[in-house]
Amino acid sequence: MRKIFPPNELARDERFVRTKIEDRVFDPRNAAMMERDLGSAKLEPSRPAAADRARSLMHGIFVGEIQALEGAGRTCFDFDEDDAPFALKLDMARQCWDESRHVEISVKLGEWMGSEIGEFTESTFLYEAACADDPVLRLCGVNRALEGLAIDVFNAMKEFGDVAGDPVLEFCEDWMLADEVTHVKMGSDWLRRLTEKDPERRNRALEFQRTVDKIFSLGGFRGESDENPVHLARKFRRMAGFDEAEMDDLVEISKQAQADAEAMAAAAAEGGGAYGA
């Protein structure tokens, strides 16, 4: 069986439609959208299209869980015990079990919210971060960056359920959030252990994490201002091994990502409209 399985060969049925992050970044509507005063972008039940936005985010969580399962599974298999100690593989196996449950919970939550598998697109960037050839990079890119984002997203959905009075959503997100804190902590612990005597490798891994964090800030998706739909869940990140400096850095990365996206949208707009006149 081959190692480092390519993202384009992941098993999906006809319900799934792939999209690329660039499709969103270069959407010709972005520049005009940025000129609108849409107020707070935070996910709240009283905001416009709240149900659709929540369903879309729920579907994003669902496909993210599938890819997290696939990524953790590959890490169990792709490395020998010199690169990835047995105890690390055991942690990844436990994570597979968690992610499997999360997939099932997410499918049921989607149905509860009136959605279905494949209603929205899937981007495979999470899995792509799990294709790095160094297990420490995978732990930083997936467990610390993307599972860290999952902490922020689950916390946002949990708060949405709380404000909406939706007990099913609130409790399910809370349970999954607890697992995510564990997954991020696994990443933090193994990063420290595997790079204890190799600061250069640690720096390379943390730089990879910064890159993944920036891409997954999606032009302002996550941050700490009213313009960010998902806010940094500092309390839970602290529990998962993040220090304050790292979290402040993450807020800066998110601001940079937003500024970059605005600059790209402005540059695209200079070329005129995309269709018609």
Residue 60 vs 71, nearer CB to other proteins: 60
Coil, helix or strand for 110? helix
- Residues near 125 by Cβ (< 8 Å), separated by ≥ 6? 21, 215, 216
Question: Considering only residues 7, 28, 238, 249, which one is a binding residue for other proteins as defined by CB under 8 A?
Answer: 28
Closest by CA position to 50, among listed 59, 60, 42: 42
For the chain, the farthest-separated pair of C-alpha atoms sits apart, in whole angstroms, at: 61
Residue 10 vs 269, nearer CB to other proteins: 269
Taking CB under 8 A as the rule, does residue 4 contact other proteins? no
Taking CB under 8 A as the rule, does residue 49 contact other proteins? yes
Q: Is 160 exposed, middle or buried (0-12, 13-18, 19+ CB in 10 A)?
A: buried
Q: How far apart are CA 41 and CA 220, in angstroms?
A: 10
CA torsion angle 41 219 11 134 (round to 10): -130
Taking CB under 8 A as the rule, does residue 17 contact other proteins? yes
CB of 182 vs other proteins, minimal distance in Å: 29
Residue 119 vs 134, nearer CB to other proteins: 119
CB of 242 vs other proteins, minimal distance in Å: 30
Taking CB under 8 A as the rule, does residue 267 contact other proteins? no
- How many residues of this chain bind other proteins (CB under 8 A)? 49
Contacts to other proteins by CB under 8 A: 17, 19, 23-24, 27-29, 32-40, 44-56, 111-115, 118-121, 163-167, 272-277
